[in-house]
């Protein structure tokens, strides 16, 4: 369809607009946003697709705001080589008219004819919607502001699909193919979930088989348990039958009776033995008592005899010890006498030694005193001299230091004097004999000159007064000199000397005194090393010693020599030794005597005791014999022993009888028989009880019919397994079929979309080499955009890229429709507003290329953008 | 002086038939007790001296109490002597259906022959010598004692045993519960009534299997009868009348198809018995086209409803889609592509998905038919 002329009157904001002389190829219609270029597109849609009798909101929407008018639209177009004129008026007095070269239609027939000519589906009621009702025109006529959105193929799909099918054949299999695919899909869904897990009846069957297997396993277990119980029951029955057959319990009971009888006999013999043993014990006790009594008697006799013997012996002993004691006492007295003599000798020897020692000490003390006195007098003399020297030293104030100071002061005075003299007037006196001179009123030795440094009056005897005025400048020197003299004199005075020479001699004296004191001190130290007082004390003590009276005035000092003392000491020592020896001997003798004395006392005591014992025993013996004579005791003993022998013989007889009956064997046999009887009875009881229990249990199990249930479960399981196998095959087949169909369909669709890609490619090459548009094979919507190896989702592209890709795809689809002899104009209402200048220039080339075969109407408010497009421009106002 | 009795065996009451689902299975189970009742009624009608049951009256020793009870109830129409011999399925164990039946209080005309002792209840006319199994598998011939068993002079000696006659039965490699083939002669028996083999069979002189009165398997043997036996006197030959008492006809059909399915349908149509009493195992081999397969499956669905039970084994039947089959699907488009691929798989024996591909083709063909039919 090529549009040729559009005239719109009273439609929305358009009062009257005519766009004419539309050519094949590119056409540009320019109008401001307010001028109504988009309304022009709406008018175009309205005249073609809205029923002229449309009312309600759609009709209302056609009215200019606030007016009640009759919107009218005229459209001239070429289709199928014919020129058609269409006119529709809406709302008030709706009208429709379609005029071709061979026909003219009015009213509703117009609508039908239009739908037939243009291949769209008129809406049942209400307004026509581009995607639903306007076929390919919904796709190719792009409203302002939607260019970057998805294509909105909608109802255009069928047109394109049929166009594609004429080109590549019926690759999709048509309606029948779709039906088979949906049947296959349904089949598959009967068996498989979306995640390829079994479902539905098949899954139920699998679950049932599983449940049946579990059930069967449980039944098998119970069946086997049942079988086991039956075997157990049989074995118990057999065992009971064996007991009955062998009469095992009867036999055991018979054995037990015999064993019990044997046991009673053995017990009787045992009792007899115990009684004999008791009798034996009694006889043995009687014999022991008789024996004890007789032995006690014999012992008493023996003790009495021994006591008599011991007493005699003790008496003899006492007597001999008493003799010994008397001898020892005499010897001891003799020893004591000798000791006394020796002690006296020792005392006199000691006195002699004492005297000699005292005499010797006095002699030595006198000598010492003399020597000490000499030393003391020497020392005292030296001390006196030392003190004198020290007194001298102390009286002298001059020390080497003070002397050095005095010498210093003297030198200063001398210097000052010399200076003064140099500046003074020297007056030498040479008086006449006897004449005196005075200076300033004081007598002056005329032999000495006078230095005058100040005005002075000299009175010369015989002459009178003479006043001297020395020259200036000496005054300070005189003062210095007088000051030096005054200092010197004060110093000398303080040190107690008149002048320097005296000071020097005083110092000499002082040093000599100090030396003297030092020498005397050394002498004292030599004579009295301990000090003078110690020496004086020693002298005093010696004098006191000698002042004591002499102990033996007869003893001459000469006789008391050391030798005499030694001899006296020797004598004393030997006397002392003799005394010690005698003392030891006397002690020994006394000790022996005391011991003997004590022994005698003991012996005498013992002898007395023995005498008492002897008497008591003798008395006791007499008493007991009077009660029972010794012979009587012997007789009783013999009788008891005979009785004991008899009793023992009886025990031996009883034991022999018991042993002969073999009681251990009897006891063991009884135990065995008891145990055997007990065990057999218990076994029979247990078996009987077990048998009864099993019978009860089995009859309960029988009611359930485990065998029947098991056989049934097994049969059922087998059946279900077979069915499951079959179902499994069906499931596999359903999947295989579905996969085969979908795979084949996918491949076919790839082939199907081939022509669209072919058409897109030349346009896309102008905009972007190496690029491709990816379409959804079912909806034909753009899914993505591929550049090289990289594919981007459509909605991820920039708005500009999206509108460019969408415009190109629409152009390609329009090409396909043209190829199927359904040429259609493409209308782009400001479809490239988001495209930059560079791309826009390229898109102009794209539009030119499309316009080679298609009619393209560009509606735009930007005239400048399309001025260079090279297409006729129509302006609406 | 004649002695007439019914010889039967292998009732196997309580057999579950669980592999037959639903009501059909339940019907097979309950029919067995009805057949027992039918035997009791027959015995009364024929006025026999006894009914000898040669083992396996019950399917196992562990059947439910109510199964025992219902079986005993079914015996009531015949007030004469019933002699039950424990077989390998219901051996006289320490605890068995027999011990349980006794505790239920059996009427006095029911004899449980669980001991190897002569039974003489017919005034010396006959002595029944039972060889009960007291284990499921006996290794010693339980009929040995027959040889020396005492019996009154002039009494018919009738042996009653359960097992296989040595070396005589086909398909019996089992050496358990063996019976000498000359036992009747050695023990001077007028008749040796045997159980265990489910078909009616004379296996040796005077030695018979009566077979199961109610068939329970697809085996082409003579099952579904009892023997009415008449012994006219000592040394007289036994007279046997085989009387059918079974209800269900168990049939095995095996058909080979080539392209078309008519032969299978014909085989079903040629069944003699009342279809409602037929338990059929149909085994199909060969190959069919998809359209024939569709036809076959529809036909089988109908037969399934008509027969008591139909078990079809098509594991040996291969789909062989014809060119027409596939052209009917689609001549172009992706469906054709998918079908071609599935077909290649279906024809490739090395392809692990060969079987699945075949079935998938069958499925799409069915879908196609269904779609076409709307």
pLDDT exceeds 90 at position A768 = no
Structural domains of chain A, count: 2
What contacts 24+ positions apart, CB below 8 Å, involve B119-124? B119/B83, B120/B151, B120/B152, B120/B155, B121/B50, B121/B81, B122/B3, B122/B49, B122/B50, B122/B81, B124/B152, B124/B154, B124/B155
What's the CATH number where A107 sits? 3.40.50.300
pLDDT at A347 over 70: yes
Task: Please answer whether residues B183 and B191 qualify as being in contact, where contact means their C-beta atoms are separated by less than 8 angstroms.
Answer: no
**Which domain covers residue A785, as residue numbers?**
2-154+779-875
Chain B positions touching A735 (Cβ under 8 A) are 356
Is B62 in contact with A708 (Cβ distance < 8 A)?
yes
Q: Is A489 exposed, middle or buried (0-12, 13-18, 19+ CB in 10 A)?
A: middle
Angle at A243 between CA A241 and CA A248, to 5 degrees: 160
- Beta bridge partners, A6, equal A19, A75
Tens-digit pLDDT profile for residues B171-190 = 555 567 889 888 999 999 99
Which chain B residues have a beta carbon less than 8 Å from that of A715? 16-20, 25
Distance CA A372, CA A528 (A): 9
Q: Residues 176 to 235 of B: which have CB under 8 A from any A CB?
A: none
- Mean per-residue pLDDT, B93-120: 91
Q: Give dist(CA A735, CA A784) in Å, integer.
A: 30
A251 pLDDT above the threshold of 80 = yes
What pLDDT sits at residue A865? Answer: 81
Least reliable range by pLDDT among A145-154, A188-197, A549-558, A692-701:
A549-558
Taking alpha carbons only, the member of A615, A564, A24 closest to residue A310 is A615
Q: How far apart are CA A679 and CA A681, in angstroms?
A: 5
Q: How far apart are CA A235 and CA A690, in angstroms?
A: 11
**Measured in Å, how far apart are chain B's first and last C-alpha atoms?**
78
Cβ distance B334 to A741 less than 8 Å, yes or no, reads yes
Domains, chain B, in order of start with CATH, read 3-244 (3.60.21.10), 249-373 (no CATH)
Tell if the CB–CB gap between A716 and B330 is shorter than 8 Å: no
The whole-angstrom distance between A160's CA and the closest CA on chain B is: 18
The b-or-e profile of B175-209 (16+ CB within 10 A means b, else e) is eebbbbbebbeebebbbbbbbbbbbbbebbebbbb
Helical pair A174-191 and A706-767, crossing angle rounded to 10 deg:
140
Mean pLDDT of the A397-408 span = 87
Q: Is the pLDDT of residue A630 over 70?
A: yes
- Do B185 and B205 form a contact (C-beta atoms < 8 A)? yes
Whether residue A730 and residue B359 make contact (CB cut-off 8 A), yes or no, is: yes
List C-alpha distances in Å: B165 to B11, B189, B192, B261: 20, 15, 11, 44
First to last CA, chain A: 26
Quick check: B344 contacting A, CB < 8 Å? no
- Lowest pLDDT segment from A29-33, A82-86, A390-394, A611-615: A29-33
Distance, CA of A118 to CA of A48 (rounded, Å): 9
Gyration radius of chain A over CA positions: 88
A273 contacts A655 by C-beta, under 8 angstroms: yes
Question: Are B62 and A226 an interchain contact pair (Cβ–Cβ within 8 Å)?
Answer: yes
pLDDT value for A169: 54
Find all residues with CB under 8 Å of B310, minimum gap 6, and list them: B280, B282, B300, B303, B304
Q: Scan for tokens 């003064």, then name that residue.
A: A420
* Helix A156-168, helix A706-767: angle, nearest 10: 90
pLDDT at A54: 86
> How far is the C-alpha of A717 from the C-alpha of A621, rounded, in Å?
122
Cβ-proximal residues to A864 (8 Å cutoff; 6+ apart), any chain: none
Chosen for mutation from B62, B88, B114, B337 (greatest number of chain A CBs closer than 10 Å) is B62
Q: Confidence class of residue B63 from pLDDT cuts 50, 70 and 90?
A: confident
The distance of Cα A523 from the centroid of its chain, to the nearest Å, equals 92
pLDDT band at A173 (very low <50, low <70, confident <90, very high): low
- Beta strands A141-142 and A790-793 are unpaired
Domain boundary among A469, A492, A523: A469
pLDDT category of residue A85 using cuts at 50, 70 and 90: very high
As a whole number of angstroms, the distance between CA A775 and CA B363 comes to: 33
Q: In the numeric block, which tokens belong to residue A289? A: 């008592």
Query: Running DSSP on this structure, what letter comes out for residue A863?
Result: H
Mean pLDDT of B237-247: 92
Query: B228 and B191 in contact (C-beta within 8 Å)?
Result: no
The answer to the question of residue A612 being in a domain is: no
Q: Cβ neighbours of residue A83 under 8 Å, at least 6 residues apart?
A: A4, A76, A77, A100, A101
Chain Cα centroid distance, residue A759: 76
> Best mutation site among A168, A705, A745, A753 for testing chain B: the one with the most B CBs within 10 Å?
A705
Instruction: Tell which residue, A396, A452, A413, has the closest CA to residue A429.
Output: A452
pLDDT at B82 over 90: yes
pLDDT in tens, A552-601: 555 555 556 778 888 888 888 888 888 888 888 888 888 888 888 888 88
Q: Say which residues have a Cβ less than 8 Å from residue A694's Cβ, sequence separation at least 6.
A: A229, A232, A233, A236, B95
What's the mean pLDDT when you consider all of chain A? 84
Instruction: Give the Cα separation of B2 and A714 in Å (integer).
Output: 47
Distance between CA atoms of residues B346 and B354, nearest Å: 5
User: What is d(CA B91, CA B99) in angstroms, rounded to the nearest whole number?
Assistant: 11
**Interface contact flag, A695 B95, Cβ < 8 Å:** yes
Please state the rounded mean pLDDT for residues B29-58: 95
For the cut 70, the answer to whether the pLDDT of residue B80 exceeds it is yes
Higher pLDDT, A436 or A164: A436
A197 domain-assigned: no
Distances (CA, A) of A609 to A318, A604, A615, B88, B98: 13, 9, 10, 119, 116
Nearest-10 Cα torsion for A211, A216, A219, A223? -170
Residue B206 has pLDDT above 60, yes or no: yes
- Is residue A4 within 8 A of residue A77, CB to CB? The reply is yes
Residue A528 resides in a domain: no
> Stretch A659-685: mean pLDDT, rounded?
89
Least confident of A29-38, A138-147, A411-420, A565-574: A138-147
Cα–Cα distance measured from residue B143 to residue A817, given in angstroms and rounded to the nearest whole number:
99
List, for residues A8-61, the tens digit of each pLDDT value.
Answer: 998 888 888 898 888 888 898 888 777 788 888 888 888 888 888 888 888 888
pLDDT above 60 for A482? yes
Chain A residues lying within 8 Å of B95, measured CB to CB: 229-230, 233, 694-695, 698-699, 702
pLDDT in tens, A506-515: 888 888 888 8
| Complete edge-to-edge strand list for the sheet that includes strand B309-319 | B249-259, B278-288, B309-319
For A838, counting Cβ atoms within 10 Å of its Cβ (0-12 exposed, 13-18 middle, 19+ buried), the class is exposed
Query: What length does chain A have?
Result: 877
Q: Would you say residue A237 has pLDDT above 80? A: yes
Question: At residue A791, does pLDDT exceed 80?
Answer: yes
B34 interface with A at CB cutoff 8 Å: no
**B66 in contact with chain A, both atoms CB, cutoff 8 A:** yes
Work out the pLDDT band at B299, boundaries 50, 70, 90: very high
Determine which of B14, B18, B70 to mutate to test the interface with A (most A C-beta atoms within 10 Å). B18
Distance between CA atoms of residues B287 and B273, nearest Å: 29
pLDDT (tens digit, 9 = 90+) per residue, A651-663? Answer: 998 888 888 888 8
B290 contact A CB<8A: no
Residue A468: φ, ψ to 5°: -110, 130
Residue numbers in A near B25 (CB within 8 A): 715
Residues of chain B contacting A745 with CB distance shorter than 8 Å: 334, 338
Phi-psi category of B101—alpha, beta or left, where left has phi over 0 and alpha has psi -120 to 50? alpha
To the nearest 10 degrees (0 to 180), the angle between helices A400-423 and A500-527 is 170
Do the Cβ atoms of B214 and B225 come closer than 8 Å? Answer: no
What CA–CA distance (Å, rounded) separates A426 from A77?
Answer: 173
Task: Write the CA distances from A446 to A433, A438, A587, integer angstroms.
Answer: 10, 9, 121
Confidence check: pLDDT of A172 > 70:
no
A845 vs A492: CA distance, rounded Å = 145
CA distance A788 to chain B (A): 30
Average pLDDT over residues B287-296: 87
Q: Chain A closest CA to B238's CA: distance in Å?
A: 37
Q: Are B330 and A173 in contact (CB < 8 Å)?
A: yes
User: Which of chain A's residues have a Cβ under 8 Å away from the Cβ of B334?
Assistant: 171-173, 177, 741, 744-745, 747-748
Q: What mean pLDDT do residues A445-474 have?
A: 78
The tokens describing A643, both together, are 């009785």
| Burial of A165 from C-beta contacts in 10 A (0-12 / 13-18 / 19+) | middle
Contact assignment for A708 to B371 by CB distance below 8 Å: no
- DSSP per residue over B302-325, as a string? HHHHHSSEEEEEEEEEEE---HHH
Reduce the DSSP state of residue B360 to 3 states and report it: helix
**Other CB atoms within 10 Å distance of the CB of residue A207:** 11
Coil, strand or helix at A473: coil
Res B374 pLDDT > 90? no
Q: Residue B90: how many CA atoms within 13 Å on its side-chain side?
A: 33
**Structural domain contains residue A31:** yes
Q: Which residue on chain A is closest to B368 by alpha carbon?
A: A180
């Amino acid at each position: 369809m090529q549009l040729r002329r559009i005239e719109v009157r009273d439609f929305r904001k358009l009062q009257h607009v005519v766009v004419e002389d539309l050519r094949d190829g590119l056409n540009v219609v320019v109008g401001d946003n307010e001028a109504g270029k988009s309304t022009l597109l709406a008018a175009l849609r309205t005249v073609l697709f809205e029923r002229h009798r449309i009312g309600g909101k759609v009709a209302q929407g056609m009215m200019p705001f606030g007016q009640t008018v009759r919107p009218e639209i005229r459209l001239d177009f070429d289709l199928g080589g014919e020129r058609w004129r269409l006119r529709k008026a809406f709302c008030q007095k709706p009208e429709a008219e379609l005029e071709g070269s061979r026909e003219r239609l009015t009213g509703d027939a117009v609508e039908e004819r239009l739908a037939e000519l243009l291949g769209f589906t008129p809406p049942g009621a209400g307004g026509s919607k581009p995607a639903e009702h306007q076929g390919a025109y919904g796709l190719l006529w792009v409203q302002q502001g939607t260019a970057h959105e998805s294509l909105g193929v909608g109802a255009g799909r069928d047109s394109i699909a049929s166009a594609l099918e004429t080109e590549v054949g019926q690759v999709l299999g048509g309606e029948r193919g779709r039906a088979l695919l949906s049947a296959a899909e349904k089949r598959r869904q009967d068996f498989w979930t979306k995640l390829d897990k079994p479902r539905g009846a098949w899954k139920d069957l699998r679950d049932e088989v599983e449940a049946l297997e579990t059930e069967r396993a449980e039944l098998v277990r119970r069946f086997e348990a049942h079988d086991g119980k039956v075997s157990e029951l049989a074995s118990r029955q057999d065992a009971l039958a064996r007991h009955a057959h062998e009469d095992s319990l009867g036999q055991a009971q018979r054995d037990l009776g015999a064993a019990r009888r044997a046991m009673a006999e053995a017990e009787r013999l045992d009792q007899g033995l115990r009684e004999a043993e008791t009798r034996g014990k009694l006889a043995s006790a009687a014999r022991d008592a008789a024996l004890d009594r007789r032995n006690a008697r014999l012992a008493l006799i023996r003790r009495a005899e021994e006591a008599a013997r011991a007493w005699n012996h003790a008496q003899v002993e006492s007597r001999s010890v008493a003799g010994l004691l008397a001898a020892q006492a005499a010897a001891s007295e003799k020893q004591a006498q000798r000791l006394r003599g020796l002690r006296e000798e020792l005392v006199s020897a000691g006195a002699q030694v004492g005297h000699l020692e005292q005499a010797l000490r006095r002699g030595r003390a006198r000598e010492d005193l003399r020597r000490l006195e000499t030393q003391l007098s020497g020392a005292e003399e030296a001390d006196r001299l030392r003190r004198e020297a020290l007194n001298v030293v102390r009286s002298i104030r001059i020390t080497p230091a003070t002397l050095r100071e005095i010498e210093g002061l003297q030198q200063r005075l001398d210097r000052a004097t010399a200076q003064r003299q140099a500046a003074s007037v020297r007056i030498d006196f040479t008086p006449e004999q006897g004449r005196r001179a005075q200076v300033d009123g004081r007598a002056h030795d005329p032999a000495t000159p006078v230095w005058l440094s100040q005005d002075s009056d000299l009175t010369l005897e015989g002459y009178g007064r003479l006043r001297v005025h020395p020259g200036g400048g000496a005054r300070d020197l005189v003062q210095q000199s007088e000051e030096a003299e005054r200092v010197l004199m004060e110093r000398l005075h303080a040190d107690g000397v008149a002048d320097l020479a005296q000071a020097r001699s005083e110092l000499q004296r002082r040093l000599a005194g100090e030396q003297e004191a030092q020498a005397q001190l050394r002498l004292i130290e030599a004579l009295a090393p301990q000090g003078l007082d110690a020496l004086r004390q020693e002298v005093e003590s010696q004098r006191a010693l000698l002042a004591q009276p002499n102990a033996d005035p007869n003893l001459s000092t000469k006789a008391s020599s050391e030798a005499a003392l030694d001899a006296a000491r020797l004598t004393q020592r030997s006397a002392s030794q003799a005394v010690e020896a005698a003392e030891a001997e006397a002690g020994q003798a006394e000790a022996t005597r005391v011991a003997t004395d004590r022994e005698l006392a003991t012996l005498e005591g013992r002898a007395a005791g023995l005498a008492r014992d002897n008497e008591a025993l003798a008395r006791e013996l007499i008493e007991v014999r009077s009660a029972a004579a010794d012979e009587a005791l012997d007789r009783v003993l013999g009788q008891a022993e005979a009785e004991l022998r008899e009793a023992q013989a009886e025990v031996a007889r009883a034991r022999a009888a018991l042993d002969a009956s073999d009681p251990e064997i009897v006891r063991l046999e009884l135990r065995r028989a008891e145990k055997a009887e007990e065990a057999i009875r218990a076994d029979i009881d247990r078996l009987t009880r077990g048998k009864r229990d099993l019978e009860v249990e089995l009859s309960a199990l029988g009611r359930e019919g485990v065998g029947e249930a098991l056989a049934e479960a097994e049969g059922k399981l087998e059946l279900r397994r077979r069915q499951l196998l079959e179902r499994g095959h069906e499931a596999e087949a359903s999947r295989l079929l579905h996969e085969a169909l979908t795979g084949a369909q996918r491949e076919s669709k790839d082939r199907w979309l081939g022509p669209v890609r072919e058409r897109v490619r030349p346009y896309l090459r102008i905009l972007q080499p190496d690029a491709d548009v990816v379409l959804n094979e079912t909806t034909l919507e753009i899914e993505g955009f591929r550049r090289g190896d990289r594919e981007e989702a459509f909605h991820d592209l920039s708005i500009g890229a999206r509108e460019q890709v969408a415009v190109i795809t629409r152009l390609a689809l329009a090409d396909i429709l043209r190829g199927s002899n359904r040429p259609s104009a493409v209308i782009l209402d400001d479809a490239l507003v988001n495209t930059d200048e560079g791309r826009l220039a390229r898109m102009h080339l794209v539009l030119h290329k499309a316009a080679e075969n298609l009619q393209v109407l560009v509606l735009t408010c930007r005239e400048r953008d399309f001025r260079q497009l090279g297409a006729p421009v129509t302006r609406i106002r | 002086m004649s002695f007439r009795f019914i010889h039967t065996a292998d009732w196997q009451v309580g057999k579950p038939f669980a592999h037959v689902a639903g009501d059909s299975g339940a019907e097979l189970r309950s029919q067995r007790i009805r057949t027992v009742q039918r035997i009791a009624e027959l015995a009364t009608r024929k006025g026999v001296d006894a009914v000898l049951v040669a083992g396996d009256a019950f399917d196992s020793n562990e059947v439910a109490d109510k199964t025992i009870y219902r079986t005993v109830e079914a015996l009531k129409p015949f007030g004469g002597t019933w002699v039950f011999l424990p077989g390998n399925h219901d051996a006289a164990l320490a605890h068995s259906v027999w011990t349980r039946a006794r505790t239920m209080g059996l009427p006095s005309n029911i004899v449980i022959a669980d001991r190897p002792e002569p039974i003489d209840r017919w005034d010396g006319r006959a002595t029944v010598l039972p060889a009960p199994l007291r284990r499921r598998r006996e290794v010693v011939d339980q009929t040995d004692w027959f040889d020396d068993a005492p019996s009154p002079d002039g009494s018919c000696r009738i042996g009653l045993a359960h097992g296989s006659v040595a070396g005589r039965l086909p398909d019996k490699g089992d050496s358990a519960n063996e019976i000498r083939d000359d036992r009747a002669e050695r023990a001077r028996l007028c008749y040796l009534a045997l159980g265990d083999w489910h078909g009616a069979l004379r296996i040796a002189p005077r030695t018979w299997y009566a077979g199961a009165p109610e068939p329970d398997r697809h085996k082409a043997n003579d099952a579904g009868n009892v023997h009415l036996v008449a012994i006219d006197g000592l040394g007289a030959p036994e007279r046997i009348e085989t009387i059918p008492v079974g209800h269900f006809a168990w049939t095995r059909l095996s058909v080979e198809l080539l392209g078309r399915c008519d032969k299978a349908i014909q085989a079903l149509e040629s069944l003699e018995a009342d279809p409602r009493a037929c338990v059929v195992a149909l085994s199909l081999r060969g190959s069919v086209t998809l359209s024939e397969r569709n036809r076959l499956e529809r036909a089988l669905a109908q037969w399934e409803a008509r027969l008591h039970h139909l078990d079809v084994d098509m594991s040996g039947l291969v789909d062989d889609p014809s060119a027409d089959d596939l052209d009917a699907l689609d001549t172009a488009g992706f469906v054709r592509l998918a079908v071609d691929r599935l077909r290649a798989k279906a024809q490739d024996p090395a392809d692990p998905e060969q079987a699945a591909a075949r079935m998938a083709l069958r499925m799409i063909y069915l879908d196609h038919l269904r779609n076409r039919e709307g």
